[in-house]
């Protein structure tokens, strides 16, 4: 047997064990509090995410320009005091479009992730709890989804479903549920053997009730971590699709589409494509830092997966 | 070991079958009518009738699927509607470029990634560690197209060191490969660091140190060998992300590869070409994963002897 010495994750486990012995349970809130105290970067990232969300919600109040307001006298103007991030090929204010584009990019990051988490969690719990042929079928299905390069699968689904935001939701949800299902299944496998689940079963509690009342609450920490790490990958996928011209379509706008439109002017107006790229990077980076921080306190054994 | 590998091969065959079925369903049984989806609303009756017969759309589902399966097993992916050439020929012309790009990207990414990971692990919690790990998270979070465009703007346009696009000269591959490998370098660095930190705490490392071995010998001869196992698996899995990431890189740098072929197929609604590129790429990825698994079994004595 390999003997592992102390690792950060096990240190947390030990603290938890000690707390349990002393009769103190570490609630979700306590863990979040610990992260807030220890990991300043994660807190800062949470603030950055909050700022982006608020900016997207209050976009109309933050800028004097309209989303589609053109100023043909000031086409491709570099950043100035009037247009902080310059203007595009039709003289529209880039900052304004960035704020409005944030709405689409954030919604496309969050909605499909929620769908894929729900589907993945339910299928993962059913798969792990029931086992047998149901388990095999669900897991082989997950294998099939995971064996596609995700961007290509999303592209094919976009082809089949046609353009539009709903198609993007479906494409990203279909490509992302499988990894969630795998993680939740393996958690369920160990939860199924716990004494309280066995006790519930011997009292005649129905399987559905056991899954939702006893297993699901214990998967919540992992699900929170997975959510924070899956949102940025959904944002990246949407921006890639829109960049290739098969995601969000005009007259809507998203950061990926802005990059795509701005690419034509890369050499004379680089801010057109680089500003939205930087916005994507900032949000993705913030979600990743926050996800890393949450994982360290909530679910240390996810670390190498 | 042979039994393990045999089971993996069977599983792979099943996945291959399901993947081809999935692509078939997604591309043929589109809501509404496949021909209209492909040709647009203005297709005339004659074209629709010809294509329906050509694609066997007038036959029952299982007949269509059987013909399709037979065709792809013999390497017949049909003829591209827009480029009027056999899809197999187009794939054969594009594949070498994608492979070259992916391999150069992998070489760059793995060299930088492993080096950063080792330095970070050895200087755990030090300045270099924090610097490299921050840098690698940066690498994971930055979109491929951003790296590509920044490189294109700075190195090719501003400095003029290499051509902006095209791969007529081998130097044309440098920028796309760096752009493509960027993300992979970040994740390799993070994984190398975490496994190496773990391995460096093992007892046999203490033994090696007690024998009087120098630090470089301990790290490179004893620790890194074991730490590399998960990293090698990840490298093989990265071939998948490199091939699908190549879609964007090839589009930006105008490289005639599989990824760009797939994008062209989607924008021109060319079903045979799209089917061919997606199926081909996915099969390569699945086989890559199979090789990675077998490699892992062969490389790790604990699995080789234990199972």
Q: Are residues B198 and B241 in the same domain?
A: yes
Q: Do A281 and B202 touch (CB under 8 A)?
A: no
Contacts of B204 (CB under 8 A, 6+ apart): B222
Q: How far apart are CA A259 and CA A238, in angstroms?
A: 12
The per-residue b/e assignment along B171-184, b for 16 or more CB within 10 angstroms, e otherwise, is ebbbbbbbbbbbbb
Check: CB of residue A83 under 8 Å from CB of residue A73. no
Q: How far apart are CA A45 and CA A283, in angstroms?
A: 9
> Is residue A67 helix, strand or coil?
coil
Name the one residue in this structure whose structure tokens are 């304004």: A96
Band of residue A33 on the pLDDT scale cut at 50, 70, 90: confident
- Find residues 145-204 of chain A whose CB sits inside 8 Å of chain B: 147-153, 155-162
Q: Are residues B203 and B102 in the same domain?
A: yes
Highest mean pLDDT range out of A59-68, A184-193, B3-12? A184-193
pLDDT at B302 (0 to 100): 67
Q: How far apart are CA B219 and CA B193, in angstroms?
A: 12
Lowest mean pLDDT among A239-243, B66-70, B275-279: B66-70
Q: Are residues B237 and B154 in the same domain?
A: yes
Q: Which residues of B touch A267 (CB under 8 A)?
A: 153, 157
Categorise residue B207: left if φ over 0, alpha if ψ from -120 to 50, beta otherwise: alpha
pLDDT in tens, B233-267: 788 778 767 876 688 888 888 888 888 899 988 88
Check: CB of residue B105 under 8 Å from CB of residue B184. yes
The DSSP H or E segment spanning B56 is: none
Band of residue B30 on the pLDDT scale cut at 50, 70, 90: low
Q: How far apart are CA A170 and CA A115, in angstroms?
A: 9
Mean predicted lDDT score pLDDT of chain A: 82
pLDDT at B40 (0 to 100): 65
Band of residue A1 on the pLDDT scale cut at 50, 70, 90: very low
> Is residue A299 helix, strand or coil?
coil
Residue ranges per domain, chain A?
Answer: 34-66+81-292
Mean pLDDT of A197-202: 88
CA distances from B167 to A97, A229, B105, B246, B257 (A): 35, 36, 14, 14, 11
Q: Is residue B83 part of a domain?
A: no
Q: How far apart are CA A292 and CA A150, in angstroms?
A: 23
pLDDT in tens, A165-193: 888 999 999 999 998 999 899 889 888 88
Structure tokens at B255: 């490289």
Q: Are residues B111 and B237 in the same domain?
A: yes
Half-sphere exposure of A29 (CA within 13 A, CB side): 0
Contacts of B34 (CB under 8 A, 6+ apart): B27, B28, B55, B57, B271
Sign of the CA dihedral running A86, A89, A92, A95:
negative
Burial of B266 (0-12, 13-18, 19+ CB in 10 A): buried
pLDDT at A4 (0 to 100): 43
Sign of the CA dihedral running B104, B108, B109, B111:
positive
Q: Which residues of B touch A257 (CB under 8 A)?
A: none
Q: How far apart are CA A302 and CA A300, in angstroms?
A: 5
pLDDT in tens, A247-296: 888 777 888 888 888 888 888 888 888 888 989 999 998 998 888 888 87
Q: Is residue B88 part of a domain?
A: no
ipTM greater than 0.85 = no
Q: Are residues B158 and B245 in the same domain?
A: yes
Q: How far apart are CA A153 and CA A173, in angstroms?
A: 11
pLDDT in tens, B94-114: 888 888 888 899 999 889 988
Check: CB of residue A171 under 8 Å from CB of residue A241. yes
Q: Are residues B193 and B231 in the same domain?
A: yes
Q: Is residue B263 part of a domain?
A: no
Q: Are residues B251 and B108 in the same domain?
A: yes
Name the one residue in this structure whose structure tokens are 């995971």: A146
Categorise residue B220: left if φ over 0, alpha if ψ from -120 to 50, beta otherwise: alpha
Q: Is residue B143 part of a domain?
A: yes
Q: Are residues B250 and B276 in the same domain?
A: no
Q: Are residues B9 and B68 in the same domain?
A: yes
Q: Do B150 and A274 touch (CB under 8 A)?
A: yes
Residue range of the domain that includes B161:
93-255
* Distance separating the N- and C-terminal Cα atoms of chain A: 21
Q: Provide the domain count of chain B.
A: 2
pLDDT at A5 (0 to 100): 45
Check: CB of residue A55 under 8 Å from CB of residue A102. yes
Tell me whether A105 touches chain B (CB under 8 Å): no
Q: Which residue has the higher pLDDT, A9 or A82?
A: A82
Q: How far apart are CA A156 and CA A254, in angstroms?
A: 20
Q: Do A304 and B230 touch (CB under 8 A)?
A: yes
Q: Are residues B177 and B223 in the same domain?
A: yes
The whole model's pTM is what? 0.82
Q: Is residue B305 part of a domain?
A: yes
Q: Do B14 and A5 touch (CB under 8 A)?
A: no
Q: Are residues B68 and B196 in the same domain?
A: no
pLDDT at B245 (0 to 100): 65
Sign of the CA dihedral running B5, B8, B13, B14:
positive
Q: Is residue B297 part of a domain?
A: yes
Q: Which residues of A touch B282 (CB under 8 A)?
A: 147-149, 152
> Is residue B232 helix, strand or coil?
helix
Q: Do A157 and B26 touch (CB under 8 A)?
A: yes
Band of residue A2 on the pLDDT scale cut at 50, 70, 90: very low
Q: Which residues of B touch A158 (CB under 8 A)?
A: 266
The per-residue b/e assignment along A190-221, b for 16 or more CB within 10 angstroms, e otherwise, is ebbeeeebeebeeeeeeeeebbeebbbeebeb
Contacts of B97 (CB under 8 A, 6+ apart): B167, B250, B255, B256, B257
> Is residue A88 helix, strand or coil?
coil
Q: Which residues of A touch B186 (CB under 8 A)?
A: none
Q: Which CATH superfamily is domain A34-66+81-292 in?
A: MetI-like (1.10.3720.10)
Q: Do B153 and A149 touch (CB under 8 A)?
A: no
Q: Do B266 and A155 touch (CB under 8 A)?
A: yes
Cis peptide before B91 (omega within 30 of 0): no
Name the one residue in this structure whose structure tokens are 């940066």: B138
Q: How far apart are CA A232 and CA B186, in angstroms?
A: 16
Rg value, chain A, Cα = 23
Q: Are residues B248 and B306 in the same domain?
A: no
């Amino acid at each position: 047997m390999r003997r592992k010495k102390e690792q950060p994750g096990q240190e947390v486990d030990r603290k938890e064990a000690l707390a349990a012995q002393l009769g103190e349970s570490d609630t979700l809130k306590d863990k979040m509090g610990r992260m807030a105290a220890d990991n300043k970067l994660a807190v800062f990232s949470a603030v950055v995410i909050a700022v982006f969300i608020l900016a997207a919600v209050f976009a109309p109040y933050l800028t004097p320009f309209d989303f589609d307001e053109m100023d043909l006298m000031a086409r491709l103007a570099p950043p100035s005091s009037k247009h902080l991030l310059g203007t595009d090929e039709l003289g529209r204010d880039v900052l304004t479009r960035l704020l409005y584009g944030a709405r689409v990019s954030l919604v496309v990051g969050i909605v499909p992730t929620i769908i894929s988490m729900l589907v993945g969690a339910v299928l993962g719990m059913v798969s792990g709890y029931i086992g047998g042929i149901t388990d095999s079928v669900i897991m082989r299905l997950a294998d099939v989804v995971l064996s596609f390069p995700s961007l290509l699968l999303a592209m094919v689904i976009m082809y089949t479903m046609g353009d539009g935001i709903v198609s993007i939701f479906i494409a990203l949800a279909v490509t992302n549920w499988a990894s969630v299902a795998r993680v939740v299944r393996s958690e369920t496998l160990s939860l199924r053997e716990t004494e309280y689940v066995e006790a519930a079963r011997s009292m005649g509690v129905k399987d559905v009730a056991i899954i939702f009342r006893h297993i699901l609450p214990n998967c919540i920490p992992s699900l929170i971590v997975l959510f924070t790490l899956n949102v940025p990958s959904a944002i990246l996928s949407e921006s890639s699709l829109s960049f290739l011209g098969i995601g969000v379509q005009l007259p809507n706008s998203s950061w990926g589409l802005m990059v795509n439109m701005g690419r034509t002017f890369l050499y004379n107006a680089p801010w057109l494509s680089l500003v939205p790229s930087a916005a994507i990077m900032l949000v993705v980076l913030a979600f990743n830092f926050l996800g890393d921080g949450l994982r360290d306190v909530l679910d240390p054994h996810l670390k190498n997966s | 070991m042979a039994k393990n590998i045999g089971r993996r091969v069977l599983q792979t065959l099943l996945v291959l079958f399901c993947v081809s079925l999935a692509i078939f369903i997604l591309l043929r049984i589109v809501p509404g009518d496949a021909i209209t989806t492909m040709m647009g609303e203005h297709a005339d009756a004659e074209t629709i009738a010809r294509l329906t017969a050509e694609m066997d759309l007038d036959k029952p589902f299982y007949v269509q699927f059987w013909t399709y399966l037979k065709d792809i097993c013999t390497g017949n992916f049909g003829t591209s509607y827009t480029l009027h050439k056999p899809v197999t020929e187009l794939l054969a012309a594009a594949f070498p470029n994608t492979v070259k790009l992916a391999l150069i990207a992998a070489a760059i990414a793995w060299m930088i990634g492993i080096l950063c990971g080792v330095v970070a692990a050895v200087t755990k919690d030090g300045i270099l560690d924090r610097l490299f790990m921050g840098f690698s998270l940066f690498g994971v979070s930055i979109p491929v197209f951003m790296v590509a465009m920044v490189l294109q703007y700075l190195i090719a346009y501003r400095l003029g060191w290499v051509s902006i696009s095209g791969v007529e000269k081998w130097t044309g591959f440098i920028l796309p490969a760096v752009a493509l490998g960027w993300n992979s370098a970040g994740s390799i660095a993070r994984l190398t660091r975490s496994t190496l930190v773990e391995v460096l705490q093992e007892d046999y490392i203490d033994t090696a140190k007690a024998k009087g071995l120098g630090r470089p010998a301990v790290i490179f001869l004893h620790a890194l060998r074991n730490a590399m196992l998960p990293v090698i698996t990840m490298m093989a899995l990265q071939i998948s992300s490199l091939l699908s990431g190549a879609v964007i890189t090839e589009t930006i740098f105008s490289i005639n590869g599989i990824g760009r072929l797939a994008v062209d197929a989607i924008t021109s609604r060319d079903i045979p070409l799209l089917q061919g590129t997606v199926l081909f790429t996915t099969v390569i990825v699945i086989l890559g994963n199979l090789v990675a698994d077998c490699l892992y079994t062969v490389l790790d004595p604990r699995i080789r002897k234990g199972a």
